[in-house]
Amino acid sequence: MTSAEEAPKGNSIDKTKEEMALIEAALYVAGRPLDLKTLGQVIGTKSKRKVQILAKTLMNEYKHRETALEVLELENQRFVLQLKTAYSPRVRKLALRPLLPQGPLKTLAYIAYRQPVIQKQVIDVRGKHAYGHIKQLIDAGLVEAERKGKNRVLKTAEYFADYFGLSHDPKIMKRQLRRIFKDMMEKIQTCRKV
């Protein structure tokens, strides 16, 4: 094989590495899940199949790197670069600005777990200060409110599921949240024993 015949293959490998690096950069900068169309725009292709192959290859590379970061494939052919959950508790306090203070985060957890839930029920459980929390959560795009007669019904928005890496299906999301809450309670109990 001559060097002229080898050049296209070498260029192809370089191009693939460059495209994977661009996908990695896009996922890093976005800090949220991105769909195949968006990732395709970044690398300059309309082929969703090509983007999916590249993203899955990147995901497998991260699995073999054994680092604190991981690339995950979510529902609806979306990918996200995130910190592995095992590392979150130890570095969370270093984050410059948490997504939400503790009060609104508790209100969000209640809404996510009980959704769809009437706003009055949230206020009864969380207190009158929850009106402000709900406004903040809606403004952040994490919660949606819909009028049903005299009531406002609250549920999580798609961005909530994307941000926290949860399913968009409320039933599956509730199971995931139950597991997360259970794991957190076990960790708290373990820490108290020490």
Domain locations in the chain as residue ranges: 3-88, 102-193
Using the CB atoms, write b or e for 17-48: b if 16+ within 10 Å.
eebbeebbebbeeeeebbebeebbebbeeeee
Residue 99: predicted pLDDT: 66
Q: In which element (H, E) is residue 87 found?
A: none
Residue 160: predicted pLDDT: 85
pLDDT tens for 155-194 read 998 888 877 778 888 888 888 888 887 777 777 777 666 5
pTM: 0.55
Residue 97: predicted pLDDT: 59
- Identify the CATH number of the domain defined by range 102-193: 1.10.10.10
Task: Give helix then strand counts, H and E, for the chain.
Answer: 9, 6
What gap in Å lies between CA 183 and CA 111, rounded to an integer?
Answer: 19
- Identify the CATH number of the domain defined by range 3-88: 1.10.10.10
Q: Are 79 and 71 in contact (CB under 8 A)?
A: yes
Identical fold for domains 3-88 and 102-193, yes or no, is yes
pLDDT tens for 13-59 read 888 899 999 999 999 988 778 889 999 999 999 999 999 999 999 99
Residue 121: predicted pLDDT: 94
